[in-house]
Amino acid sequence: MRPSWDQYFMEMAEVVKTRSTCMRRQVGAVVVKDKRVLSSGYNGAPSGIEHCEKTGCLREQLGVPSGERHELCRGLHAEQNAIIQAAYHGVEIQGTTLYVTLQPCVLCAKMLINAGVKRLVFKGQYPDDLSEKMLTEAGIEMEKFE
């Protein structure tokens, strides 16, 4: 039996996350429109910056719990990198679907809203009620991938 498009694109996000350089959690994201991949991203340090694998995890060193103080991290989130890659290459992502291996945090949710993403398919749960509330308020269709 052929996999659904959601399954197919979520598998792609799972492959993308293998490029992550984060020591705590690997996340992958794929931006899709009309069954075509427009952009992808994984979490990790910005281009030209030492990866946490080499410098150590700042969040671990400071004892920062998951879901808090996002600014205390060298890395960008997968969703952020997917949006940045689209912008860098001049690809419009308004009206797209984002497939991501972890529910977005509130910072990423705000970026997805302003980028014009219309549908979000996510796999893992993330402890951020405000993110879910804002995405719902913005009218972004959210689906937990099972």
**pLDDT by residue (tens digit) across 131-145?**
999 999 999 999 999
Mutual angle of helices 106-115 and 129-137, in 10-degree steps: 20
On whether 77 is known to bind a ligand per the annotation, the reply is: yes
Measured CA distances, 129 to 10, 123, 125 (Å): 23, 16, 10
Measured CA distances, 132 to 26, 94, 97, 113 (Å): 21, 20, 16, 12
d(CA 5, CA 35): 8
The answer to whether the CB of 64 falls within 8 A of the CB of 72 is yes
Q: What is the set of domains in the chain, with CATH numbers?
A: 5-144 (3.40.140.10)
Chain segment 39-82, per-residue pLDDT in tens: 999 999 999 999 888 999 999 999 998 888 888 899 999 999 99
* Catalytic annotation present for 53: no
Candidate list 11, 50, 68, 79, residue with the active-site label: 79
Question: Checking DSSP bridges between strand 28-33 and strand 97-102, what pairing results, if any?
Answer: antiparallel
- Stretch (H or E) spanning 40: strand 36-42
- pTM for this entry: 0.94
On whether 89 is known to bind a ligand per the annotation, the reply is: no
Mean pLDDT of 91-118: 97
pLDDT score, position 128: 87
pLDDT band at 2 (very low <50, low <70, confident <90, very high): confident
The answer to whether the CB of 12 falls within 8 A of the CB of 78 is no
Amino acid at 92: E
pLDDT score, position 146: 87
User: Helix or strand or coil: residue 54?
Assistant: helix
pLDDT band at 88 (very low <50, low <70, confident <90, very high): very high
pLDDT score, position 18: 97
* 16: Cα separation from own chain's centroid: 11
pLDDT at residue 3 tops 90? no
pLDDT at residue 7 tops 90? yes
pLDDT score, position 97: 98
Handedness of CA 43, 90, 5, 131 (dihedral sign): positive
On whether 51 is known to bind a ligand per the annotation, the reply is: no
